[in-house]
Amino acid sequence: MMKQEQLNAIKKRLAKTSVGPWFVVEEEFVQNVSSVIGVIHLSKDAHFIAHAHKDVPALIEEIERLKRENEGLVIDRECAISNITNEFLNEEQRLRKALEEIMEDQAPIMEGWETTTYEIARKALGGEAHE
């Protein structure tokens, strides 16, 4: 993953370039052109370099857009996890209360007279005895 420092360095280098337009002159000898930076012998490389002045800013813009979108998705995910966790805890509390009510309703009058329902509720509550 590209770090923000790397992206900032690319942006700084881009800001220092000439405004352009950048173009390719496909001639053996170039005269009266003050912005020639070098001679490239492969036309496809020259076209790539000439287009870089427009392509790099577009790529930077897309990277920054995707980073913003990713940050939003991370926030959305964290909110969803928090909501689900809260819902789970609320449901757990609701079910625990229901089991405690069952145990209270089904409480045996003597030891050994526990109903199946009482035992199921007691086990679901982790073996906690009804007080």
Tokens of 104: 């209270």
Q: Per residue in 12-49, pLDDT tens?
A: 998 988 887 777 776 665 555 555 556 666 677 778 88
Per-residue pLDDT of 88-130, as tens digits, reads: 999 999 999 999 999 899 888 888 888 899 999 989 998 755 5
The residue type of 41 is H
Q: What is the pLDDT of residue 33?
A: 56
Is the pTM higher than 0.85? The answer reads: no
User: Angle at the Cα of 23 (from 41 to 37), degrees rounded to 5?
Assistant: 60
- Give first-to-last CA distance, the chain, whole Å: 58
Residue 116 burial (CB count, 10 A): 8
Length of the chain: 131
Tokens for 83?
């909501």
Using CA atoms of 21, 27, 29, 35 in order, give the dihedral in degrees to the nearest 10: 10
Cβ(60)–Cβ(11) below 8 Å: yes
Q: pLDDT value at position 80?
A: 96
